[in-house]
């Protein structure tokens, strides 16, 4: 072989310890709650077999394909199962590149053959709004579909050029999560933005040397989404307080109570607590 010659590269996969695999599966299952999804009992059984070393990811994928080919189970459960498997797979290694291309690749891997009505691994080509309970039915103002690529390019270039020199770990962690929030606000995809961003965030933080306690993603993924909503809300409703609480629990052994009702109560207090209203913006094993 001569210098500079390209050769195929195969990752030498090492089997993860039992606890690490358990953590990944709990995280992948917990993230489905972002969209109100819950994996099937069959998926939980397959995950436990993987944790115990009796099944590979490839075997689970094959089992799921046969199961859903022969069973008339609802589409929602199929999505919960399939995406959970793919999240666990993506989080089982530490390969990561800080780029919008990585974001596209993660979305494509998670949702290929899952989303059939929306583009997968491609930016949305329409403008969207979403009613948010934590905003009393208002929507975050997402980026215009015409500006998605340019806005992402700007954010990623700024992040790549940002220097962490002289910053504490807490400052770096907070900065990264605010970057994640900024990218989420663009909402580059029709569906699956929060799960894609969660996987991207975990892999980015790991690449910076952080050790994560994934329990907040496992048990409070809906809180995570509401954090992002409030961080990008309009006017008086905008706050990063809750995102910072989530970050402390995720990265720095925080013990903050992650209660969505606190967010909802805050919104109600701001909107209805006084006479001056402002317009809403437009726009072990796994036991689950």
Question: For residue 165, what is the domain's CATH number?
Answer: 1.10.3290.10
The two tokens of residue 173 are 């962690």
Centre a 10 Å sphere on the Cβ of residue 12 and count the other Cβ atoms it contains: 4
Read off the pLDDT of each residue in 84-109 and give the average, rounded to a whole number: 97
CB 178 within 8 A of CB 70: no
Answer yes or no: is pLDDT of 284 > 70. Answer: no
Last residue within a domain, chosen from 93, 126, 144:
93
Number of domains in the chain: 2
Q: Is residue 95 packed enough to be buried (19+ CB in 10 Å), middle (13-18) or exposed (0-12)? A: exposed
Tell whether 27 is covered by a domain: yes
Phi, psi of 165, deg, nearest 5: -60, 130
Q: Which two tokens stand for residue 148?
A: 């998605």
CA 76 to chain centre: 18
208 assigned to some structural domain: yes
Please report which confidence band the pLDDT of residue 2 belongs to, taking 50, 70 and 90 as the band edges: very low
| Pair 159, 188 in one domain | yes
Q: What is the pTM of this model?
A: 0.89
Same domain, 76 and 113: no
Is residue 252 domain-shared with residue 118, that is, in the same domain? yes
For residues 5-11, give the mean pLDDT: 42
Q: Are residues 81 and 192 in the same domain?
A: no
Residue 182 and residue 257 in one domain? yes
- Provide the pLDDT confidence category of residue 8 given band limits of 50, 70 and 90: very low
pLDDT of residue 274: 59
User: 8-12, 36-40, 51-55: which range is least confident on average?
Assistant: 8-12
In a domain, 4, yes or no: no
The whole-chain average pLDDT of the chain stands at: 90
pLDDT of residue 74: 75
pLDDT at residue 72 in the model: 60
Closest C-alpha to 201, from 170, 167, 224:
224
C-alpha pair distances (Å), 9 with each of 97, 106, 259 = 17, 20, 45
| Helix (H) or strand (E) segment spanning residue 59 | helix 57-70
DSSP letter at 53 equals T
Q: Based on the domain organization, do 218 and 250 belong to the same domain?
A: yes
- Note whether 82 and 130 are same-domain residues: no
Would you say residue 8 lies in a domain?
Answer: no
Q: Confirm whether 100 is domain-assigned.
A: no
Residue 222 in any domain: the answer is yes
**What pLDDT was estimated at residue 14?**
56
Task: Could you list the beta-strand ranges (E) of 36-178.
Answer: none
For residue 4, pLDDT beyond 70? no
Confidence (pLDDT) at 285:
52
Q: Within this chain, do residues 252 and 165 fall inside the same structural domain, yes or no?
A: yes
Q: Is 110 helix (H, G, I), strand (E, B) or coil?
A: helix
C-beta atoms surrounding 91 within 10 Å: 23
Query: Residues 136, 236: one domain?
Result: yes
Query: Is residue 73 very low, low, confident or very high in pLDDT (cuts 50, 70, 90)?
Result: low
Q: For the chain, how far is it from start to end, CA to CA, in angstroms?
A: 52
- Residue 75 in this model has a pLDDT that exceeds 90: no
Average pLDDT of span 121-150? 97
Instruction: Look up tokens 């709650």; give the residue.
Output: 33
Determine the structural domain holding residue 79 and report its residue range. Answer: 16-93
84 and 167 co-located in one domain: no
Residues 126 and 266 in one domain: yes
Interatomic CA distance for residues 42 and 38, integer angstroms:
12
Enter the DSSP assignment of 280: P
155-205 residue pLDDT tens? 999 999 999 999 999 999 999 999 999 999 999 999 999 999 999 999 999
Tally Cβ neighbours within 10 Å of residue 236: 11
Return the ∠ at Cα 56 (arms to 6 and 104), rounded to 5°.
55
Q: Residue 207: which of 143, 241, 159 has the closest Cα?
A: 159
More confident residue, 27 or 16: 27
Query: Of the residues 93, 119, 137, which one is the last residue of a structural domain?
Result: 93
Look at residue 80 and tell me whether its pLDDT is greater than 70: yes
Q: How far apart are CA 39 and CA 9, in angstroms?
A: 34
Among 35, 63, 93, where does a domain finish?
93
**Under 8 Å between Cβ of 233 and 264:** no
Q: Are residues 156 and 80 in the same domain?
A: no
Q: CA of 46: how far to CAs of 30, 41, 115, 217, in Å?
A: 16, 9, 23, 21
**Structural domain contains residue 251:** yes
Q: Is 151 a domain residue?
A: yes
**Mean pLDDT of the 232-254 span:** 97
């Amino acid at each position: 072989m001569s210098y500079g010659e390209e050769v195929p590269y195969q990752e030498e996969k090492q089997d993860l310890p039992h606890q690490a695999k358990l953590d990944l599966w709990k995280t992948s299952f917990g993230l489905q709650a972002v969209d109100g999804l819950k994996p099937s009992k069959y998926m939980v059984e397959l995950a436990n077999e993987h944790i115990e070393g009796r099944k590979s990811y490839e075997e689970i994928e094959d089992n799921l394909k046969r199961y859903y080919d022969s069973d008339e189970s609802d589409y929602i459960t199929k999505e919960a199962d399939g995406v959970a498997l793919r999240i666990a797979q993506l989080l089982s290694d530490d390969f990561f590149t800080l780029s919008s291309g990585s974001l596209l690749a993660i979305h494509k891997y998670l949702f290929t053959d899952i989303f059939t009505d929306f583009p997968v691994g491609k930016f949305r080509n329409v403008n969207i709004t979403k009613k948010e309970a934590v905003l009393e039915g208002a929507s975050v103002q997402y980026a215009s579909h015409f500006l998605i690529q340019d806005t992402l390019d700007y954010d990623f270039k700024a992040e790549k050029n940002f220097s962490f020199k002289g910053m504490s770990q807490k400052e770096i962690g907070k900065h990264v999560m605010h970057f994640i929030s900024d990218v989420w606000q663009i909402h580059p995809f029709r569906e699956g933005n929060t799960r894609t961003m969660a996987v991207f965030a975990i892999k980015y933080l790991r690449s910076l040397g952080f050790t994560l306690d994934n329990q907040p993603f496992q048990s409070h993924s809906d809180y995570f989404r509401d954090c992002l909503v409030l961080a990008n809300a309009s006017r008086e409703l905008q706050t990063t307080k809750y995102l910072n609480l989530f970050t402390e629990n995720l990265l720095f052994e925080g013990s903050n109570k992650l209660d969505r009702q606190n967010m909802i109560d805050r919104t109600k207090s701001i909107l209805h607590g006084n006479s001056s209203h402002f317009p809403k913006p437009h726009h072990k094993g796994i036991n689950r």
